[in-house]
Chain A
Amino acid sequence: MGEVTVSTADRRGPVEEWIETWRHRELMAHMLRRELRTQYNRSLLGWAWSLINPLTTLLIYSVVFGIILSGNDVVPRGAAGIQSFPLFLFSALVAWNVYSTVSTEVMQSFAGSLQLRNRIYFPAGCQVLVSAVSALIVLTVEVAVLAVAFLVATPAHFALLGLVPVVALAALLGLGVGLMLSVPNVRYRDVGYLYGVFLRFFFFLTPIIYPMSILEGKEVAGLRLDAAIRLNPLTHYVDAIRRVTYVHEWPPAKLWAIMLTMSLAVSVVGWLAFTKYAPDATEGR
Chain B
Amino acid sequence: MAATTDLAVRLSGVGKSFRLYQEQTGSLRNRLTGMGRTRFREFAALTDIDLEVPKGTMLGIIGSNGSGKSTLLRVIARVYRPTSGRVETQGRVSALLELGAGFHHELSGRENIRLNAAIMGIADGRVQTLLDDIVAMADIGEFIDSPVEVYSSGMRARLGFAIAVRLDPEVLLVDETIAVGDLQFYEKSMEQFDRMVAGGTTVLLVSHSLGLIERKADLVLWLEHGRVAAFGDPGSVVGRYIDHYTGGRPLDADGDQFADDDALLLESRAGEGCAYSGDSCTVRIRFEYAKGAERVSVGFVSHHGPMPYSSAIEVPRVNGLDETGELAVMLPIVPLPPGQYAIEVVLEGSSGQQVLRTPILVYPDLSEEAPAGRLAMPLEVVVGF
Q: Which of A5, A189, A283 contacts B78, CB < 8 Å?
A: A5
Do A187 and B79 have beta carbons less than 8 Å apart?
no
Contacts A8-B86, A285-B18 known; A24 to B121 CB distance under 8 Å? yes
Nearest 7 CB-CB pairs, A to B? Answer: A2-B91, A120-B102, A30-B118, A121-B78, A190-B28, A7-B87, A27-B118
Question: For the complex, is A276 an interface residue (Cβ under 8 Å from B)?
Answer: no
Residue A280 interfacial (CB < 8 Å): yes
Q: Which of B27, B84, B98, B102 has the most CB of A within 10 A?
A: B102
A9 adjacent to B85 (CB under 8 Å):
yes
A41 and B146 CA atoms in complex are apart in Å by: 13
State in angstroms the CA–CA spacing of A2 and B27 once bound together: 44
Asked if B82 and A7 make an inter-chain contact with CB atoms under 8 angstroms apart, the answer reads: yes
| CB closest residue in chain B, given A279 | B81
CA distance A88 to B79 in the complex (A): 49
Q: Looking across the interface, which residue of chain B has its beta carbon closest to that of A27?
A: B118
* A152 in the interface (beta carbon within 8 A): no
What sequence of 0s and 1s flags, for each residue 102-142 of chain B, a beta carbon within 8 Å of any chain A beta carbon?
Answer: 11101100010011101101011000000000000000000
Question: Could you pull out 12 A-B pairs where Cβ atoms are within 8 angstroms?
Answer: A1-B90, A2-B91, A3-B91, A4-B90, A5-B93, A8-B86, A8-B87, A9-B83, A24-B121, A117-B79, A119-B95, A121-B93
Question: Chain B: residues with CB nearer than 8 A to chain A?
Answer: 1-2, 5, 18-21, 26-29, 31, 75, 77-93, 95, 97-98, 101-104, 106-107, 111, 114-116, 118-119, 121, 123-124, 170
* Complex partner residue of B101 from A4, A120, A188, CB under 8 angstroms: A120
Count residues of A near B (Cβ-Cβ below 8 Å): 36
Bitwise interface map of A from 161 to 201 toward B, beta carbon under 8 Å scored 1, else 0:
00000000000000000000000000111110010000000
Other than the known A7-B88, A26-B121, A119-B102, what 5 A-B pairs have Cβ atoms closer than 8 Å? A1-B90, A1-B170, A6-B86, A119-B98, A190-B28
- Of all chain A residues, the one with the shortest Cβ separation from B40 is A285
Q: Are A4 and B95 in contact (CB under 8 A)?
A: no
Contact of B88 among A4, A116, A194 (CB under 8 A): A4
Residue of A nearest to B179 (CB): A119
A9 to B5, CA, bound (A): 23
For A282, the chain B residues whose CB sits under 8 A away are 79-80
Cα of A119 to Cα of B116 in the assembled complex, Å = 11
**Residues of B close to A117: CB separation below 8 A:** 79
CB of A202 within 8 Å of the partner chain: no
Name the CB-closest residue of A to B79. Answer: A121
A120–B88 CB distance below 8 A: no
Cβ-based interface call for A11 (8 A): yes
**B80 and A1 within 8 A (CB):** no
